Amino acid sequence: MTISAGRATIRSTEVVAASGGPRGQQVVEILRRAIIVGRLEPGERLIEARLSHELGTSRGPVREALRQLENEGLVMSFPYRGAIVLGVSDEEVQEVLIPLRLTLERYGFAHALHRITDADFAELGKQVWLMEQAAETGDLFSAVEADLRFHDIVMSASGQTHTVQIWRSIWPRSRAYIYRYSRSSTLETVVVEHRDLLAALQTRDLVFVLRQLEVHIAVPAPKPPVAPRPSAGAPRRARRPGTGNKKPVARAPKES
């Protein structure tokens, strides 16, 4: 099965493993992952009839999936026009998502510090191990999922229900920007940062933990790729005839 929307073509077998869950949830996973990894680009239209045909399902699960993705902030629906994919701009990341994550996670980590259990530490260690496995195979998507799960474990341990609810509400858009930003660095960096963060949590030293947390979250936007310069041996652009290195012509002085 494939999804073709605009210029993108998505093979559902590539973006989600076959599972026994509800059909609607499978469609959500297919579309969510396609948006996060960039196969469905910002501005592309998602039309119910086309998606249901290409995924081999009725329009009900597709409609349900689009509604959920709209609640997650990944798509926007318009009457009689279908839905479009929403992007996550660097401005939103730097001015909204990162400051919001820092505020929520500073508060959550501070409250979790003396509530976190040995079982929680074991689960955090497991997520770091999963990141290591993903780094070895170059599996960026799995590394990002383990990254978010790591933070979710600590936030859940905080006991701050409303803070956790707000944090999870930005999870989908956070996932999208973390995936995009992580593509400009190495997965080994992701592993090291979480290993250091886990070690800081085990000290239960609040100042140390918050310093490591800020280093991990407050990252600059990736630099745009630099256009390659022409090599030294590349042929130069030909000059137009008659425009070569001309010497200025001396003019005769005017008669007085």
**Could you read off the pLDDT of 5-55 as tens digits, one per residue?**
544 555 444 334 434 445 778 898 888 888 887 788 888 999 888 888 888
Would 6 be classed as within a structural domain?
Answer: yes
Is the domain of 124 the same as that of 79?
Answer: no
CA distance 148 to 151: 5
- Residue 225's pLDDT is 58
Query: Is 187 in contact with 134 (CB distance < 8 Å)?
Result: yes
Of 75, 91, 92, nearest in space to 83 by CA: 75
Is the domain of 66 the same as that of 120?
Answer: no
Instruction: Look over the chain and give the mean of its residue pLDDT values, rounded to a whole number.
Output: 82
Would 124 be classed as within a structural domain?
Answer: yes
More confident residue, 19 or 110: 110
Residue type, position 241, single letter: P
Is the domain of 37 the same as that of 115?
Answer: no
Q: Indicate the residue among 23, 51, 85 that finishes a domain.
A: 85
Q: Indicate the residue among 51, 85, 119 that finishes a domain.
A: 85
Query: What is the average per-residue pLDDT within 197-214?
Result: 97
Query: What is the average per-residue pLDDT within 56-63?
Result: 87
- Residue 20's pLDDT is 46
Query: What is the average per-residue pLDDT within 68-85?
Result: 86
Would 141 be classed as within a structural domain?
Answer: yes
- Residue 7's pLDDT is 44
Query: What is the average per-residue pLDDT within 106-117?
Result: 97
Would 244 be classed as within a structural domain?
Answer: no
Would 174 be classed as within a structural domain?
Answer: yes
CA distance 6 to 28: 19
Query: What is the average per-residue pLDDT within 105-121?
Result: 97
The enclosing domain of 143 has a CATH number of 1.20.120.530
Would 231 be classed as within a structural domain?
Answer: no
Is the domain of 23 the same as that of 127?
Answer: no
Would 7 be classed as within a structural domain?
Answer: yes
Q: Indicate the pLDDT class of residue 191, thresholds 50, 70 and 90.
A: very high
- Residue 55's pLDDT is 82
Give percent above pLDDT 70 in the chain.
79
Q: Which range among 13-27, 103-117, 173-187, 189-203 shows the weakest confidence by mean pLDDT? A: 13-27
- Residue 196's pLDDT is 97
- Residue 151's pLDDT is 97
Is the domain of 24 the same as that of 101?
Answer: no
Is the domain of 61 the same as that of 126?
Answer: no
- Residue 239's pLDDT is 53
Would 182 be classed as within a structural domain?
Answer: yes
- Residue 194's pLDDT is 96
CA distance 200 to 104: 18
Is the domain of 159 the same as that of 109?
Answer: yes
Is the domain of 76 the same as that of 157?
Answer: no
- Residue 16's pLDDT is 40
> For the whole model, what pTM was predicted?
0.74
Is the domain of 51 the same as that of 120?
Answer: no
> Residue 98 contacts by C-beta under 8 Å, 6 or more apart in sequence?
217, 218, 219
Is the domain of 106 the same as that of 166?
Answer: yes
Q: Which range among 31-35, 82-86, 180-184, 195-199 shows the weakest confidence by mean pLDDT? A: 180-184
- Residue 154's pLDDT is 98
- Residue 17's pLDDT is 42
- Residue 33's pLDDT is 84
Q: Which residues pair with 9 in a beta bridge?
A: 4
More confident residue, 236 or 169: 169
More confident residue, 2 or 36: 36
- Expressed as residue numbers, the domain containing 76 is 2-85
State the total domains in the chain.
Answer: 2
Q: To the nearest 10°, report the CA torsion of 160, 161, 163, 164.
A: 110
The enclosing domain of 41 has a CATH number of 1.10.10.10
